[in-house]
Amino acid sequence: MTPSPEDNEFGSPLPPPQAPVFHGAASKPRRRALGVLLTLVVGFVGGLVGTQASNNWDLSFGSGSSVQSSNSPLVTSEVSPDDASVGDTVIAQVANAMSDSVVTISSSIDDGMTTGEGTGTGVVLTADGEILTNAHVVADATEVTVRFAGETEPRLAKVLASDPGNDLALLKIDATDLKPAVFAQPGTIRIGDGVIAIGYALDLDGGPTVTSGIVSALKRTIITESGALNGLIQTDAAISSGNSGGPLVNFRGEVVGINTAVARSDANSAANNVGFSIAVDEIVPVLEQLRSQAGGQVREEGFLGVGLAARTDGGQGAIISSVQPNSPASLAGIRENDIVLSVDGEPIDGQAGLVAAIRDASPGQTVEIELLRDGKRMTVKAKLVARTGD
């Protein structure tokens, strides 16, 4: 069972992030229609107000003046044969190159209590029909279809495997000769790199929406409805509902991440242009696990056996609030009030980071855990076991 904010993998509740994070995913048609309606109403009212205002202004040119429209053509720039590439920007080139590798995903949803429809985005992985998207895009789906830009009819898709904890799912359609997206090499993403988000935002008619920005930060960890996500790319490229599962692409046309969530403002905090994508560094191992699941192998998560608390002194790491008897943590010598600083060399910035790191490890795997105890650093080794469903 995947840890959740209400009941993490160790049994201790995780606090919500300062800026609540919502998936930029499956949009509800009814809600979306209401939002668009409100926008149209505002525009219509503005038009009425403008008309009323103009009636109070004297726009006459004086009696006897003759005002007629001109027959002169619109003034436009001249384009010479040498200017064939004008307007063909990097963003336009990348968007055009990705057009056949990005699909819109529609899901019929039935969670046992309510029914509805959701919309998201997917990325073509293989020529024979594998497609990658977010797990929350197809969660509780009774039927999934995909449609390519330029096509009029949807294609039926099968969910081969899903990993809600890592928010990735693998789909398959009956197809040949598709154009797979090219993924960047893990470890090549840098802060400040230009990136482009491509996806079917708000399920708008027509092709995908394209927005641009930069890589704002790396290795972010956030808490979502599905649990803890780590190793995320933070970007200021606009991500909206319906973008979920779509690619974040660098200026070389390589997929660096899968768009998954966006931070929104609330009464206590403000958020602007803060979106998150699952980095290719995380995608590679999860994809291997998804394919193993599709082949019938059961996915097991690692289990350490501790409760967690947040640091409130401004420091890094996660505080051990409790240790289960005879658990891997207990056998490794981990104690209550220890502060976990890293796992296998990867820094742990907070509770969510530790939850994700242990979840992604395999049962039987031995991990090195760096601790801070009474002001002294120390390292212990814990052999994880399989997490049970209770």
Catalytic residue chosen out of the listed positions 23, 106, 136, 203: 136
Residue 142 has which token pair? 């009774």
In angstroms, how far is CA 82 from the centroid of its own chain?
Answer: 41
Q: Give me the DSSP letters along 132-175.
A: EE-GGGSTTEEEEEEEETT-SS-EEEEEEEEETTTTEEEEEES-
Is there a contact between 183 and 254 (Cβ–Cβ < 8 Å)?
yes
Catalytic residue chosen out of the listed positions 163, 167, 193, 360: 167
Catalytic residue chosen out of the listed positions 107, 240, 241, 244: 244
Q: Is 167 a catalytic residue?
A: yes
Backbone phi, psi, residue 116, to 5°? 180, -165
CA distance 146 to 171: 10
Is there a contact between 369 and 380 (Cβ–Cβ < 8 Å)?
yes
Q: Is 111 a catalytic residue?
A: no
CA distance 260 to 278: 7
In DSSP terms, which residues pair with 122 in a beta bridge? 103
Residue 213 has which token pair? 């920005």
Q: Is 23 a catalytic residue?
A: no
SS3 string of 324-386?
CCCCHHHHHCCCCCCEEEEECCEECCCHHHHHHHHHHCCCCCEEEEEEEECCEEEEEEEECEE
Per-residue b or e along 226-250, where b marks 16 or more CB atoms closer than 10 Å to that residue's CB:
bbbbbbbbbbbbbbbbbbbbbbbbb
Residue 289 has which token pair? 């696990």
Active site residues per annotation: 136, 167, 244
